[in-house]
């Protein structure tokens, strides 16, 4: 399918590119004229220069560069009428900020160019699919919304022509969004997240499957998936891809289930189900929904098969449970997580670890690298007095460790103020605790520990966030963490016993901004 053919068949042929450009210019200017407070603004994670961001969108490899678009509100640190912000990279490690790519400009997307994905049609021809959002009352969602799946095309990845709606919401369906489109078995396929009305009960979170032979007219195929939680009323940002002949569905369930226990602690959570699927058939689930990252802030992940065959996933570290401290005085909110490479094992268990090339940011000359040592009973050993962004690798022999917790104290302002990353042997969980961090946005999260006798933690610390990858990536805990002003030390601490460290390395990180 070429852009020329799409333009001929399009439903909207009078896109006013001049007006769109004026809106983009205004939005770019607003960002350029906003100064953020740098204290927590990310140095090793993708974010706009200022303003609000949420989901990664349209991630692709196109014309020799990786393109990362994202939900962006340029006029403030709160969620608002969505634009698509834009950054690019040649190596997935260093990034360059680009001009905003899409602004709400048409009747069908006048209240927001919401999330979606990219499809490289051919060398030099890119299509993006997104949800156009419109409030019925023109103001907010109190009287309902109209969500339409839309198409836009580009030859340079920077300037887009909107070709308009390709799929209207069926009667009675209000929340239907975040299209993902791919080519398989000589057809185009699309999945969308839906809040599906059902008889005699609350709406159910489902993923709907459509197919097409021209990318413009779409036929409903089936309900591909329904979240097993009867209180899940909406599925956002579904991503569906093949790995080693199996299928993974990554998605974000929204549920009214009470928050008890460790799982699904956020208003918005992420996870995956895995199974088997053949085009035209049913999705046969072999691995039921499982949370993917247990932190406060990991949402709306979107993955990309990169040219060397790896499936890499990009999540958003931010949240709708507001306010976040950075919003109040600092003029920004949200950043992407470190790109993670996915692996699916024979039991359909998904693992995610930071891409290998992320290590290129390490300043190895200034690293702290400690080989085997034992930390005594109730001992705290300072490792760095004041750290910027760092990448930490910790390996501990649990068979020789008697300490109840293996605690890395980070953002350590004083003996009593720090964030704690700990393996807790009582609950057998890995905890990220912001309770003593000295700022707002407190609370802890804890992921199950499913590793063996050798505990492996990878901890990536940015100015305003901590990502913890556990073991070989079975689980992770990622949260925004906003330390009070002061030094940001790092220490290792034991509780009621000893810690047998195999290896501990702390690498200062260079900025990702080229
Ligand atoms: C998920 C989400 C999407 C929607 C977008 C709007 O975070 O709610 O479902 O398209 O954000 O910004």
Pairing of the two strands 380-384 and 390-397: unpaired
Residue with the smallest CA separation from ligand 1 atom 6 is: 114
Of 341, 357, 373, the one marking the end of a domain is 357
Number of domains in the chain: 2
Rounded Cα gap, residues 433 and 446, in angstroms: 8
Clarify whether residues 382 and 335 are in a common domain: no
| The pLDDT of residue 440 | 78
Report the pLDDT averaged over residues 472-488.
Answer: 96
Q: Which residues contact 142 (CB under 8 A, 6 or more apart)?
A: none
Over 80: is that where the pLDDT of 251 sits? yes
The finding on whether 54 has its CB within 6 A of some atom of ligand 1 is yes
Q: What is the pLDDT of residue 47?
A: 98
Residue nearest to atom 8 of ligand 1 (CA): 236
The predicted structure's pLDDT at residue 214: 97
Nearest to 82 by CA among 58, 62, 110: 110
Q: Are residues 262 and 398 in the same domain?
A: no
Q: Is 35 a catalytic residue?
A: no
Ligand 1 atom at minimal distance to the Cα of residue 252: 1
pLDDT at 42 over 90: yes
Residue nearest to atom 9 of ligand 1 (CA): 236
Residue 141 · residue 135 · CB < 8 Å: yes
Q: Is the pLDDT of residue 254 over 80?
A: yes
Question: Is the distance from CB of 195 to CB of 251 less than 8 angstroms?
Answer: no
The verdict on 297 and 429 lying in the same domain is no
Residue 252's CB: how many other CB atoms inside 10 A?
27
Average pLDDT, the chain: 96
Percent of the chain scoring above 70 in pLDDT:
100
pLDDT tens-digit profile of 98-155? 999 999 999 999 999 999 999 999 999 999 999 999 999 999 999 999 999 999 999 9
Write the CATH number for 366.
Answer: 2.60.120.560
Ligand 1 within 6 A of 266 CB? Answer: no
Same domain assignment for residues 216 and 97: yes
pLDDT value of position 11: 84
pLDDT the model gives residue 229: 95
The ligand 1 atom nearest the CA atom of 130:
10
In a 3-state reduction of DSSP, which class is residue 372? strand
Mean pLDDT, range 277-289, rounded to an integer: 97
Among residues 357, 392, 418, the one where a domain terminates is 357
Does ligand 1 lie within 6 Å of residue 83's CB atom?
no
For 148-188, how does the pLDDT look when each residue is reduced to its tens digit (9 = 90+)?
A: 999 999 999 999 999 999 999 999 999 999 999 999 999 99
Q: Is the domain of 488 the same as that of 471?
A: yes
- Residue 242 belongs to domain with CATH number: 2.115.10.20
Question: How large is the greatest C-alpha to C-alpha distance in the chain, in angstroms?
Answer: 73
Whether ligand 1 lies within 6 angstroms of the CB of 237 is answered as: yes
Query: What is the structure's pLDDT at 320?
Result: 87
Q: From the alpha carbon of 114, which atom of ligand 1 is closest?
A: 10
Average pLDDT, integer, range 443-472: 97
User: Does residue 439 register a pLDDT over 80?
Assistant: no
Ligand 1 centroid to 115 CA: how many Å?
Answer: 6
The answer on 277 and 131 residing in a single domain is yes
Is 513 within the bounds of a domain?
A: no
25, 37, 55, 293: which is the annotated catalytic residue?
55
Give the pLDDT mean for 15-27.
97
Q: What is the pLDDT of residue 302?
A: 98
Answer with the residue of higher pLDDT: 438 or 83: 83
pLDDT range class, residue 387, cuts 50, 70, 90: very high
How many Å lie between the centroid of ligand 1 and the Cα of residue 271?
16
* Lookup: tokens for 93: 């490690």
Q: Which token pair is 313?
A: 């996933």
- The Cα–Cα gap between 229 and 388 comes to 41
Whether 514 is covered by a domain: the verdict is no
Q: Is the pLDDT of residue 474 over 80?
A: yes
Residue from 129, 145, 126 nearest 195 by CA: 145
Tell me the mean pLDDT in the region 429-454. Answer: 93
Domain of 403, in residue numbers? 362-508
Residue 398 has pLDDT above 80, yes or no: yes
pLDDT single digits (tens) 319-369: 888 778 888 889 999 999 999 999 999 999 999 999 999 999 999 999 999
User: Which tens digit of pLDDT belongs to each residue from 198-248?
Assistant: 998 999 999 999 999 999 999 999 999 999 999 999 999 999 999 999 999
Claim to verify: residue 86 and residue 172 sit in the same structural domain: yes
- The verdict on 106 and 251 lying in the same domain is yes
Query: Is 266 inside a domain boundary?
Result: yes
Per-residue model confidence (pLDDT) at position 403:
98
């Amino acid at each position: 399918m070429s852009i020329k053919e799409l333009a001929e068949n399009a439903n909207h042929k009078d896109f006013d590119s001049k007006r769109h450009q004026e809106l983009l210019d205004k939005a770019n200017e607003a960002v350029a004229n906003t100064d953020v407070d740098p204290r927590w603004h990310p140095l090793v994670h993708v974010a706009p220069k200022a303003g609000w961001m949420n989901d990664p969108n349209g991630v692709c490899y196109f014309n020799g560069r990786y393109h990362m678009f994202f939900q962006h509100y340029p006029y403030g640190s709160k969620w608002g009428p969505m634009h698509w912000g834009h950054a690019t990279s040649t190596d997935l490690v260093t990034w360059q900020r680009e001009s905003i790519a899409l602004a709400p400009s048409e009747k069908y997307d006048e209240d927001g160019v919401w999330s979606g994905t990219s499809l490289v049609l051919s060398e030099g021809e890119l299509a993006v699919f997104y949800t156009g959002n419109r409030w019925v009352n023109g103001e907010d969602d109190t009287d309902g919304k109209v969500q339409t799946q839309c198409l836009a095309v580009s030859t340079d990845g920077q300037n887009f022509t909107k070709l308009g709606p390709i799929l209207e919401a069926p009667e009675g369906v209000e929340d239907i969004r975040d299209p993902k489109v791919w080519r398989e078995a000589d057809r185009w396929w699309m999945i969308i997240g839906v809040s599906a009305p059902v008889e005699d009960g609350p709406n159910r979170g489902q993923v709907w499957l459509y197919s097409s032979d021209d990318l413009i007219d779409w036929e409903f195929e089936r309900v591909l998936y329904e979240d097993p939680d009867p209180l899940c009323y909406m599925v956002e940002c579904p991503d569906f891809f093949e790995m080693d002949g199996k299928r993974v569905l990554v998605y974000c369930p929204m549920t009214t289930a009470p928050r008890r226990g460790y799982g699904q602690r956020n208003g918005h959570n992420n996870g995956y189900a895995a199974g088997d699927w053949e085009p035209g058939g049913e999705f046969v689930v072999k691995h039921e929904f499982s949370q993917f990252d247990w932190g406060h802030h990991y949402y709306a992940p979107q993955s990309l098969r990169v040219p060397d065959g790896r499936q890499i996933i990009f999540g958003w570290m931010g949240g709708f449970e507001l306010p976040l401290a950075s919003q109040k005085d600092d003029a920004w909110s949200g950043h992407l997580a470190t790109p993670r490479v996915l692996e699916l094992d024979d039991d359909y268990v998904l693992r995610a670890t930071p891409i290998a090339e992320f290590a290129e940011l390490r300043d190895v000359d200034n690293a702290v690298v400690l080989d085997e040592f034992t930390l005594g009973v109730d001992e705290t050993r300072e490792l760095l007095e004041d750290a910027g962004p760092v990448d930490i690798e910790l390996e501990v022999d649990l068979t020789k460790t008697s300490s109840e917790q293996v605690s890395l104290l980070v953002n350590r302002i004083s003996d009593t103020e720090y964030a704690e990353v700990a393996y807790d042997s009582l609950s057998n969980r890995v905890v990220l605790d912001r309770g003593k961090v000295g700022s707002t946005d407190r609370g802890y999260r804890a992921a199950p520990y499913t590793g063996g006798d050798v505990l492996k933690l990878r901890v990536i610390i940015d100015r305003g966030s901590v990502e913890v990858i556990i073991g070989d990536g079975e689980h992770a805990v990622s949260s925004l963490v906003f330390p009070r002003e002061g030094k940001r030390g790092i220490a290792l601490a034991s509780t009621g016993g000893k810690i047998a460290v195999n290896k501990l390395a702390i690498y200062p990180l260079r900025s990702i901004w080229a």
